Amino acid sequence: MSEMTKEEASARINELKAELAKNSYLYYVQDMPTITDAEYDGMMRQLRELEAAYPELVTPDSPTQHVGGYAKPGFTEVHHITPLLSLANAFSPEEMEEFDRRVREGLPKDARVEYVVEPKIDGLACSIIYENGRFVRAATRGDGNVGENVTENVRTIQNIPKVLKPVPGVEMPELLDVRGEVYMPRHAFLKLNEERIENGEAEFANPRNAAAGSLRQLDPRVTAKRSLAFFAYGIGTGALPTHNESMDRLQQYGFTTTEGRTKVSTIQEANELIRKHGERRASLGYDTDGVVVKVNAVWQQNLLGATGKDPRWAMAYKFPPEQAETTLRDIVIQVGRTGVLTPTAVLDPVRLSGSTISRATLHNEDFIAEKDIRIGDRVIINKAAEIIPEVLRVAVEKRTGQEKVFHMPEHCPECGWPVERKNGEAAVRCTNPHCPALGREGLIHFTSRDAMNIDGCGPAVLNQLQETGLVKDPGDLYLLTVEDLMQLDRMGEKSANNLVRAIAASKEQSLDKLLFALGIRHVGAKVARTLALRYGTMDELARATQSELSAIPDIGPVIAESVVTYFGDPGNRDYIERLKELGLNMKMLGTAASNENHPFFGKTMVFTGTMPTLDRATAQTMAQEVGAKVTSSVSRKTDYVVAGADPGSKYTKAQQLGVTIIDEAEFRRLLGNS
């Protein structure tokens, strides 16, 4: 870090903050992580080191200054009674000893320190409130101060007491805030993924994502079917003098607490317990990604305090990603819905993180070249207990000379057309606009959960529909009859009726779902929602100009060009008209499109400065959801400027132009979200 200039450090800090914010959103809100925990932790560690070296570059919006997480749209917000903090991470016994040194330096010299060691459950943190012994509310961590109200969903979890058991000689507390982890047992996770495969749905990557996705269902009946469970790990309000006593009391009240909880007197004892847990964690019925070490005495916890996002009295020891060695037998090519050719490694089956792995992603030809991966290599694969397996590195020292260098094909393996790779892109694409793979993968994408969500219309069914000629594009799905479907293998009358109903129901999906289903290049689920919220209808979006789209936060010129190109194609316009004639909804439902009377509807708004509780992206989304147009610059056409601390030049320009300036409190009041 010392070789960096201040300017270089500032640029790297901004780059890290952007990457961490993006991946935090994918992890906490979308439950769809794209990097490993180890990669995320590595970026966070580098950011901490840079900010330590250049403290003047630390800003309030840095992820080192607040808990990662967001309140997901669709749930009401809940303000935690006391912050639900995250934990700092350690990765070696030496770092745990450094934690111990800091603890002892922060306490009186004669203080006797005890620690409690317990496994770190890989799930979703949750706060459950009891009043006079009765369950009244549950909320996710969110950003640590504000979470999602998931009360009805948590009520469905069987091992959470709805009424606390009386403890002889102990008065029932008026208020008790129980903190813990909602998780999915491994057997339930395997069963759920088997069901999803049968239904043609995408598998959950790991039990943590399955638990998060299940807890955040808008329909509690879905959550109830997912076999979630809960481990209590602490008390936010109503704690006893020591952590160990609090945990014993929670057990008396009827909670399941973390297994293997042990009190120790030295950090060396804690490190030994960490080592033993690392050896046995694969045999547990649930996923753990580390061990938590906590100061036992609550008065010592209070004296040590917190850094702003992490308590100084606790540390999470994170286990390294699990790895395995195997032989890479072949590299095969899969063609995706946008024509991208993706190389996949075919491996000798090997056990990793509790499952048998026979394939691993190789991403693109640059990835293969960078790691010098060859057919026949002995390779180390890394799953990190939660992400699709990938090749971490090649065991070059084990090469025999018989390995073969891989080259991407010059022609598409599906249709034989030439492939191309554009300058500045890593992707190799099929040049045939009518490639069979595009149609097949496009159909799978169109019917998927995050798109039109047509239950029972999985890849196996879609393949048969294509092979029989019943379906050539997604529009044909809406012409299918029960009699058509009963021609398919293993499709009885009941299943056919169910599928016809599911297809008909998908017509009512909101505009954002349809936009995502269309498969417009660079338009993922989040971008589709942003566009749908901004324009309200398909026709309005189709008329948008590239410059207008580029000005929308989170869109930019690349996405804007892709959207304009898509709607400028006569074939695409005809396709959308056909979907409209078939009865598919072309409006955004339940948000901006139905808020004509809201004070922000149709208004142009600019956000600037640092607000007390909302990050800018969340505030902008809240405004867009009631029909506001959010822009990045102030002009005479601006209706509101929402200003936080250190607002800068936008605030000054708004004053000069006479634009209405409001703070976060007034923004929330007008929004109706106090």
The residues assigned a catalytic role are 120
Do residues 128 and 135 make contact, with C-beta atoms less than 8 angstroms apart? yes
- Give the residue carrying structure tokens 């069914």: 461
User: Please, what is the Cα angle at 252 between 221 and 134, to 5 degrees?
Assistant: 45
SS3 string, 427-461, reads CCEECCCCCHHHHHHHHHHHHCCCCCCCCCCCHHH
Whole-angstrom distance, CA of residue 509 vs CA of residue 523? 17
DSSP state of 605: E
**β partners of residue 315:** 293
Region of residue 217 (phi > 0: left; psi between -120 and 50: alpha; otherwise: beta): beta
Whole-angstrom distance, CA of residue 300 vs CA of residue 106? 9
The Cα-based distances of 2 to 5, 6, 50, 52, 234 in angstroms read: 8, 10, 9, 11, 40
Q: Which tokens in the block code for residue 27?
A: 């992890």
Do residues 645 and 609 make contact, with C-beta atoms less than 8 angstroms apart? yes
HSE toward the beta carbon, residue 533, CA cutoff 13 A: 24
Q: Which helix (H) or strand (E) holds 363?
A: none
Q: Which tokens in the block code for residue 244?
A: 């160990």
Whole-angstrom distance, CA of residue 185 vs CA of residue 208? 9
Q: How far is CA 383 from the centre of its chain?
A: 17
Whole-angstrom distance, CA of residue 669 vs CA of residue 659? 19
Task: Report the DSSP pairing between strands 640-643 and 660-662.
Answer: parallel
In 336-389, the DSSP E strands lie at: 341-352, 355-361, 374-375, 378-382
